[in-house]
């Protein structure tokens, strides 16, 4: 294990470690019985996930959350809004970008997680329902995320009744889109209002880092063929060299003048190197960064009902709370 990983590996109790290993074994057994997403059309996978069939827990739709639409260059962009409890005055807005390999997921499929974050940090959480591949390949998703971010910065905070202090975050493909959104805002709007980035098991090199390239066929939510399938659906026809363009793979971008970032990833995630390398590059560019590597965490582990997920969530809440407290 490299020194970089060892330095940032989080300590967990023996009970948490055992629970995680038992869960991972059950998950791998379950995934062996399911057809991989590489062979099932994306609309069918989306419909099954909405019904609670497949890898992740069944979605819970909370009545306290609501949707709104904001202008976008290709038409209205839907946002899912979660507010902190009624007795809390919001401290700002958190722009959330969901994961799903740029092909799956939706803004309303993680209501409890959005509501928990909103109350734990004291922010209004706004999740973007961006257009999905393969029907809408690059740049549709990032255009929608940028449009949502610009609306928030220009007028959204006032409409949401929150101070104009913004953070951004996402999981997997959502973390990738979050960084691209920050880069677009930085390049076209000097002095971006975003004060923090919460980047959870992100994909930052779409040509594949060594851990993604060498992982192989073992399916623990992701595998090398699944990653390649997602990337080729999002960015069809690109060579490895073309996929390293900074506007596609932020690992190769100029990362100067970006806000403090927290990188979260598990040791059993094919995208482990993405977070490790991106955190190093963020730091080299002069940015503040924290890297937390969770033992035995698989890709997407924070979505599962295990103690390791709650520990990682708590670390994210603490990071965001600290930055909002310092920004007053």
Q: What is the pLDDT of residue 204?
A: 99
CATH number at residue 130: 3.40.50.1820
Q: What is the pLDDT of residues 115-169, one digit of tens each?
A: 999 999 999 999 999 999 999 999 999 999 999 999 999 999 999 999 999 999 9
Over the stretch 225-270, which tens digit does the pLDDT of each residue have? 999 999 999 999 999 999 999 999 999 999 999 999 999 999 999 9
Give mean pLDDT, residues 298-321: 98
Active-site amino acid positions = 172, 269, 299
- Please, which residues have CB within 8 angstroms of residue 91's CB and are 6 or more apart in sequence? 121, 122, 123, 162, 163, 165, 324
Number of domains in the chain: 1
Euclidean distance between CA atoms 167 and 28, whole angstroms:
34
pLDDT of residue 1: 67
Which is higher by pLDDT, 219 or 193? 219
Q: Give all strands of the β-sheet with 66-70 in edge-to-edge order.
A: 66-70, 77-82, 124-129, 93-97, 166-171, 194-200, 261-268, 289-298
pLDDT in tens, 69-118: 999 999 999 999 999 997 889 999 999 999 999 999 999 999 999 999 99
Measured between alpha carbons, how far is 54 from 311 in angstroms, rounded to an integer? Answer: 24
pLDDT for residue 58: 94
Measured between alpha carbons, how far is 226 from 238 in angstroms, rounded to an integer? 17
Task: Please state, rounded to an integer, the average pLDDT across all residues of the chain.
Answer: 96
pLDDT at 192: 64
pLDDT of residue 178: 98
Q: Quote the domain boundaries for residue 17.
A: 3-326
pLDDT value for 122 = 97
**Are the CB atoms for 102 and 133 separated by under 8 Å?**
yes
At 210, the pLDDT band (50, 70, 90 cuts) reads very high
Question: Closest by alpha carbon to 196, among 70, 85, 317, 65?
Answer: 317
In the structure encoding, which two tokens stand for residue 157, read together?
Answer: 């905070």
pTM of the model as a whole: 0.97
- pLDDT at residue 4, rounded to an integer: 73
Percentage with pLDDT > 70 across the chain: 98
Instruction: Say if residue 190's pLDDT is above 70.
Output: no
- Residue 98 CA to residue 104 CA, distance in Å, equals 9
> Can you give the pLDDT at residue 113?
98
Share of the chain above pLDDT 90, in %: 93
């Amino acid at each position: 294990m490299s020194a970089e990983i060892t330095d940032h590996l989080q300590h967990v109790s023996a009970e948490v470690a055992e629970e995680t290993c038992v869960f991972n074994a059950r998950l791998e057994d379950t995934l062996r019985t399911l057809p991989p997403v590489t062979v099932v059309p994306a609309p069918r996978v989306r419909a099954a996930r909405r019904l609670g069939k497949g890898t992740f827990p069944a979605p819970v739709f909370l009545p306290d959350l609501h949707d709104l639409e904001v202008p976008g260059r290709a038409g209205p962009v839907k946002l899912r809004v979660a507010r902190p409890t009624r007795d809390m005055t919001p401290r700002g807005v958190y722009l959330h970008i969901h994961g799903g390999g740029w092909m799956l997921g939706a803004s309303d499929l993680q209501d409890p997680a959005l509501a928990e974050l909103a109350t734990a940090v004291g922010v209004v959480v706004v999740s973007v329902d961006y257009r999905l591949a393969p029907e809408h390949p690059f740049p549709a998703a990032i255009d929608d995320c940028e449009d949502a971010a610009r609306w928030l910065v220009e007028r959204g905070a006032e409409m949401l009744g929150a101070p104009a202090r913004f953070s951004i975050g996402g999981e997997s493909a959502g973390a990738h889109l979050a960084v691209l959104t920050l880069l677009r805002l930085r390049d076209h709007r000097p002095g971006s209002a975003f004060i923090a980035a919460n980047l959870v098991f992100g994909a930052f090199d779409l040509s594949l880092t060594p851990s993604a390239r060498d992982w192989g066929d073992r399916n623990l939510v992701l595998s090398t063929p699944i990653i390649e399938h997602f990337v080729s659906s999002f960015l069809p026809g690109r060579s490895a060299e073309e996929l390293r363009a900074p506007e596609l793979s932020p690992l190769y971008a100029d990362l100067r003048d970006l806000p403090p970032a927290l990188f979260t990833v598990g040791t059993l995630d094919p995208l482990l190197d993405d977070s490790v390398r991106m955190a190093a590059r963020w730091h080299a560019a002069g940015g503040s960064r924290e890297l937390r590597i969770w033992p035995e965490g698989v890709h997407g582990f924070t979505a599962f009902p295990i103690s390791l997920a709650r520990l990682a969530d708590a670390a994210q809440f603490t990071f965001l709370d600290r930055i909002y407290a310092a920004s007053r």
